[in-house]
């Protein structure tokens, strides 16, 4: 049996990168793993956890001899990362990433890659509210979607090799246009996150005594938002900055709808409220029927 990859270079090794490293190790999907990170503490942790054969903070060194490079840093670091590693990429190398916004990933990565290097943008739709190499686990991607957004003309064999990696991790592959991906994720993921970040922020402004009681009774609804609002701050900063238009468009709709509900509450319009709540209940049934609950 041949090993799918000779050498995988993971650029950034937080929750996603380290979970992928664990999958690659577990299933022997590469002969060797190189992990690159900026901080010495992260690299020490990777060594301690045995997640890579080599660790380095030198990106060019990290990708030398790699046939697969996985960029798993926050989106805001992509441009600098690619400029640092591009000169060391051999023709035929596949570069992929795991970022939550795809049009900007393509804009920041593709123009800087040498000829003959294949770029297959990817987004494993998985995560937890924890960060760092110690937060990863090898079942993170199981039964989750992995969306790939290759530009037209990308080598199908390269796309298939990346797809096979994620399938090995337990994910189902969806191929999609990058801009369409960003629209859909603005609704399913980015809008919910900005809302959750807002409401939890609103609570942190309350006086201390009230805040203690809110935490005490958090299980009555608030708790579900705090999990989302505990997601990685830098990663999410970069998501919002890089999917600005789609997020703002959805926020505009959300605000209009909230104003309508607020008005119904103020004026005691029970009919509007009840009709609204019947409608939203039906969406939940759709999600249960789709096996996504």
Please provide the DSSP assignment of 165-189 as one string.
HHHHTTPEEEE--HHHHHHHHIIII
Among 79, 173, 240, 249, binds its own copies (CB under 8 A): 240
State the distance between the two ends of the chain, measured CA to CA, in whole angstroms. 38
**What residues numbered 87-146 form the site for its own copies, per CB under 8 A?**
125, 129, 144-145
**Minimum CB distance to its own copies, residue 53 (Å):** 32
Using rule CB under 8 A, residue 286 touches its own copies? yes
**Does residue number 39 form part of the binding site for its own copies (CB under 8 A)?**
no
Binding part of the chain for its own copies, among 19-27, 40-48, 102-110, 238-246 by CB under 8 A, reads 238-246
Contact flag: residue 228 with its own copies (CB under 8 A): yes
**Interactions with its own copies, residue window 63-82 (CB under 8 A):** 76
Q: Do 13 and 46 contact (CB within 8 A), yes or no?
A: yes
Q: Is 292 in the site for its own copies (CB under 8 A)?
A: yes
Contact flag: residue 257 with its own copies (CB under 8 A): yes
Does 287 engage in binding with its own copies (CB under 8 A)? yes
Could you say whether residue 250 binds its own copies (CB under 8 A)? Answer: yes
The string of DSSP codes covering 118-148 is: EEE-EEE----S--SGGG--TTTTTT-EEEE
Does 36 help bind its own copies (rule: CB under 8 A)?
A: no
| 227 binding its own copies? (CB under 8 A) | yes
CB of 3 to its own copies, least distance (A): 31
Residue 68, judged by CB atoms within 10 A of its CB (0-12, 13-18, 19+), counts as: buried
Nearest 10 degrees: Cα torsion 273, 274, 279, 283: 90
Could you tell me the smallest distance in angstroms from the CB atom of residue 72 to its own copies?
17
d(CA 30, CA 179): 31
Taking alpha carbons only, the member of 140, 201, 174 closest to residue 17 is 140
Q: Which is nearer to its own copies, 157 or 266 (CB)?
A: 266
Q: Under the criterion CB under 8 A, does residue 200 sit at the interface with its own copies?
A: yes
13-41 burial, b at 16+ Cβ within 10 Å, e below that, comes to bbbbbbbbbbbbbeeebbebbbbbbeeee
Binding mask 157-196 for its own copies (x = CB under 8 A): --------------------------xxx-xxxxxxxxxx
């Amino acid at each position: 049996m041949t090993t799918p990859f000779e050498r995988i270079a993971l650029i950034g090794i937080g929750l996603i990168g380290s979970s992928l490293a664990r999958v690659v190790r577990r299933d022997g999907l590469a002969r060797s793993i190189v992990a690159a990170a900026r901080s010495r503490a992260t690299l020490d942790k990777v060594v301690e956890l045995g997640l890579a054969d080599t660790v380095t903070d030198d990106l060019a060194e990290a990708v030398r001899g790699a046939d697969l490079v996985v960029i798993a840093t926050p989106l805001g670091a992509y441009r600098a990362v690619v400029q640092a590693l591009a000169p060391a990429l051999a023709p035929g190398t596949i570069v992929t990433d795991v970022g939550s916004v795809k049009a900007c990933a393509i804009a920041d990565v593709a123009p800087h890659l040498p000829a003959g290097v294949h770029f297959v943008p990817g987004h494993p739709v998985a995560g937890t509210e924890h960060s760092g190499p110690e937060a990863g686990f090898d079942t993170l991607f199981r039964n989750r979607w992995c969306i790939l957004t290759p530009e037209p003309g990308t080598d199908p064999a390269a796309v298939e090799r990346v797809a096979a990696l994620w399938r090995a991790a337990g994910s189902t592959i969806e191929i999609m246009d990058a801009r369409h991906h960003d629209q859909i994720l603005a609704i399913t993921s980015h809008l919910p996150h900005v809302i959750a970040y807002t409401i939890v922020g609103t609570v942190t402004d309350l006086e201390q005594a009230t805040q203690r009681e809110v935490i005490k009774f958090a299980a009555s609804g608030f708790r579900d938002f705090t999990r989302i609002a505990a997601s990685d701050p830098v990663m999410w900063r970069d998501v919002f900055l890089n999917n600005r238009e789609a997020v703002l468009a959805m926020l505009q709709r959300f605000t209009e709808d909230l104003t309508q509900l607020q008005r119904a509450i103020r004026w005691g319009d029970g009919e509007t409220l009840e009709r609204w709540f019947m409608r939203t209940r039906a969406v939940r049934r759709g999600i249960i029927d789709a096996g996504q609950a």
